[in-house]
Amino acid sequence: MSLRPPAESGAASETFGGTASFRSTASFIAEASEFGNSWLVPLSCLIVDDNDEFLDSSSRVLESQGLHVVGRASAGNEAVRLAEELRPDVALVDVRLGEEDGVEVARQLAARALATRVVLISTHADDEVPELLADSPAVGFLPKAALSAEAVAELVR
């Protein structure tokens, strides 16, 4: 069976013995994912940051690039609650959440045995990043200036 990309009508077609078969774009993506094309399935994402402007702008940018932002939190306890409820693929957690520590939030998420992978983010490309990562369950770090759907996907897939 050969996979073809979805047609503009939102359906892909295949021919079986001369008979055309149509299926939805969603089933095409799900099937393609089984064949190792996981990049076709958008990642679901929770963004955790204490800056409302950053939450708004990063949500818009990441959504426009194909990441599915399922939730936003401005505090650690809210992040844990949303992660348990929404089960996102990835949580982007600011290293400095006001008075809270983003690394501690990452630990709380990991302690809940959620499948959510954590990527730490910060406006500062600190020299402390290797040390932060070594002491946390995060899968990686991204400076906020380099935040993109592609960069997130590269860290978690």
Q: Which uninterrupted H or E stretch holds 119?
A: strand 117-122
**How are beta strands 117-122 and 90-94 bridged, if at all?**
parallel
Residue 117: domain span: 42-156
The verdict on 74 and 125 lying in the same domain is: yes
The verdict on 79 and 37 lying in the same domain is: no
Q: Which uninterrupted H or E stretch holds 23?
A: strand 19-24
The verdict on 36 and 9 lying in the same domain is: yes
The verdict on 151 and 101 lying in the same domain is: yes
Q: How confident is the prediction for the chain on average, in pLDDT? A: 78
94 or 1, greater pLDDT: 94
Q: What is the pLDDT confidence band of residue 36, given thresholds at 50, 70 and 90?
A: very low
The verdict on 46 and 120 lying in the same domain is: yes
The verdict on 69 and 107 lying in the same domain is: yes
Taking residues 101-122, report their average pLDDT.
90
pLDDT value at 41 more than 50: yes
* pTM for the structure as a whole: 0.73
The verdict on 76 and 18 lying in the same domain is: no
Q: For residue 106, with 0-12 CB atoms within 10 Å meaning exposed, 13-18 middle and 19 or more buried, which class applies? A: buried
d(CA 109, CA 37): 28
**Number of domains within the chain:** 2
The residues near 117 (Cβ < 8 Å, ≥ 6 apart) are: 89, 90, 91, 139, 155, 156
Q: Answer yes or no: are the C-beta atoms of 157 and 38 closer than 8 Å.
A: yes
Beta-bridge mates of residue 2: none
pLDDT recorded at residue 132 = 75
Distance of CA 38 to the CA centre of its chain: 13
The verdict on 134 and 58 lying in the same domain is: yes
Q: How many C-beta atoms lie closer than 10 Å to residue 155's C-beta? A: 17
Q: What is the pLDDT confidence band of residue 34, given thresholds at 50, 70 and 90?
A: very low
Q: In this structure, what CATH number is given to the domain that contains residue 56?
A: 3.40.50.2300
The verdict on 59 and 131 lying in the same domain is: yes
18 or 70, greater pLDDT: 70
pLDDT recorded at residue 127 = 62
Q: How far is CA 130 from CA 95, 111, 138, 156, in A?
A: 13, 21, 11, 17
The verdict on 112 and 37 lying in the same domain is: no
| pLDDT > 70 fraction of the chain, expressed in percent and rounded | 71
pLDDT recorded at residue 134 = 83
| pLDDT tens, position by position, 48-95 | 999 999 999 999 999 999 999 999 999 999 999 999 999 999 999 999
The verdict on 9 and 51 lying in the same domain is: no
Distance of CA 11 to the CA centre of its chain: 26
The verdict on 148 and 98 lying in the same domain is: yes
